[in-house]
Chain A
Amino acid sequence: QVQLVESGGGVVQPLTSLRLSCAASGFPFSAYGMHWVRQAPGKGPEWVALIWSDGSETYYADSVQGRFTISRDNSKNTLDLQMNSLRVEDTAVYYCARSGARYCRSLDCFGSFALDVWGQGTTVIVSS
């Protein structure tokens, strides 16, 4: 079945780094754009980053621009999020999610089909 499994979360100190991974299975991973979305305790979700199916384009929320990097390895069906210079406000459950349509090549396409499959999330706590 279609599945996304995140890993790599943990407790880290401010200004340190952490790398999250998402393993995909049950669908043609290389055909789909992928997102990271996070959710702080008691808050609504926050979209973090998007990468196109072939990795050629990436987009970030202003809150993480320049600190986080989204990447993918289509040969291994994995999605990563490299998080540097972590802040207390980055504390959240981090989800990877699939774009709702294959082969999207425009924000109009990504926006039209939303995020249709989500992982179970991995928790990142940034605390001194």
Chain B
Amino acid sequence: DIQLTQSPSFLSASVGDRVTITCRASQGISRYLAWYQQKPGKAPKLLIYSASTLQSGVPSRFSGSGSGTDFTLTISSLQPEDFATYFCQQLNTHLPWTFGQGTKVDVK
């Protein structure tokens, strides 16, 4: 199975900060990568698919980049509603699809 390693696992930030989360795959996955946001007790919410395509309705402060094995989620200016846990998911054509372990973004 393809392993995804997110870094950091925890991140303390302030409103207005630029936040960057990385996701590294154990083997190349082209651009088959998605990012999700999850708040406590809620389902994950799709933010980015195909590594860099913004899901409809998601604010433009969220952006994704990368291909192959290294990917990045950036929040350009952190807002109060962005404090949450973020997961990457690889959806390579070889199953199974796997998720990263998550990055929790909390208040500094």
Please determine whether A112 and B50 come into contact, CB atoms closer than 8 angstroms. Answer: yes
Please determine whether A45 and B44 come into contact, CB atoms closer than 8 angstroms. Answer: yes
**Does B87 reach chain A (CB closer than 8 Å)?**
yes
Known contacts A113-B50, A114-B89, A115-B46: A62-B96 contact under CB 8 Å: yes
Which of chain B's residues has its CB closest to A120's CB?
B43
Please determine whether A107 and B34 come into contact, CB atoms closer than 8 angstroms. Answer: no
Which of A46, A61, A110 makes the CB contact (< 8 A) with B91?
Answer: A110
For the complex, would chain B's binding face be called helix, strand, loop or mixed by DSSP majority?
Answer: loop
Known contacts A111-B91, A111-B92: A47-B97 contact under CB 8 Å: yes
**Does B83 reach chain A (CB closer than 8 Å)?**
no
Query: What is the bound-complex CA distance between A44 and B9, given in angstroms?
Result: 12
Query: What is the bound-complex CA distance between A118 and B95, given in angstroms?
Result: 20
**Complex interface: stretch among B13-21, B66-74, B99-107:** B99-107
**Does A27 reach chain B (CB closer than 8 Å)?**
no
Most central of B1, B43, B45, B96 by chain A CB within 10 Å: B43
Query: What is the bound-complex CA distance between A118 and B36, given in angstroms?
Result: 11
Q: List 24 A-B contacts (CB under 8 A).
A: A43-B101, A44-B101, A47-B99, A59-B95, A62-B1, A97-B43, A100-B46, A106-B93, A107-B93, A111-B91, A111-B92, A111-B93, A112-B91, A113-B50, A114-B34, A114-B49, A115-B89, A116-B46, A118-B43, A118-B44, A118-B45, A119-B43, A120-B42, A121-B43
Most central of B87, B93, B94, B97 by chain A CB within 10 Å: B97
Which of A45, A61, A112, A119 makes the CB contact (< 8 A) with B32?
Answer: A112
**Does B98 reach chain A (CB closer than 8 Å)?**
yes
Please determine whether A114 and B99 come into contact, CB atoms closer than 8 angstroms. Answer: no
